[in-house]
Amino acid sequence: GARAVLEYQLFYRARYAEAAFASCRDVQLPATGGHAIATMCGRYGARLCTAQRWLDFQGDKNNGLAPLQIDFRLLPNGSEPG
């Protein structure tokens, strides 16, 4: 039968995830003046968003955008995936 990937784990270094999040955190939408991250962090909005919460929302198949479930795992800096 046919096979398909329905979910996968993605490992990021915490340093990388934090830097990516920081680069997006203060981006404002010209139309509203609000922060873009507010719509990219689900129920947490811009104020309570963190790198992990941002990635969790991006990988949630129920967000209407992710094609499948992505489980983002942040690794401590200097560690190796187990």
Query: In this structure, is residue 57 part of a structural domain?
Result: yes
Query: In this structure, is residue 2 part of a structural domain?
Result: no
Kindly report, residue by residue over 31-64, the tens digit of the pLDDT.
Answer: 988 999 998 999 999 999 999 999 999 999 999 9
Nearest to 21 by CA among 42, 44, 3, 41: 41
* Cα 52-4-82 angle, rounded to 5 deg: 45
Query: In this structure, is residue 48 part of a structural domain?
Result: yes
For tokens 């479930």, the residue is 69
Taking the CA atoms of 26, 23, 29 and 46 in sequence, report the sign of the dihedral they define.
Answer: negative
Question: Predicted confidence band at 1 (pLDDT cuts at 50, 70, 90)?
Answer: confident
pLDDT at 65 exceeding the cut of 60: yes
Query: What pLDDT, on the 0 to 100 scale, is given for residue 18?
Result: 96
Query: What pLDDT, on the 0 to 100 scale, is given for residue 80?
Result: 64
**Domain extent at residue 24:** 7-75
pTM of the model: 0.83
Cα–Cα distance for residue pair 74/81, rounded to 1 Å:
10
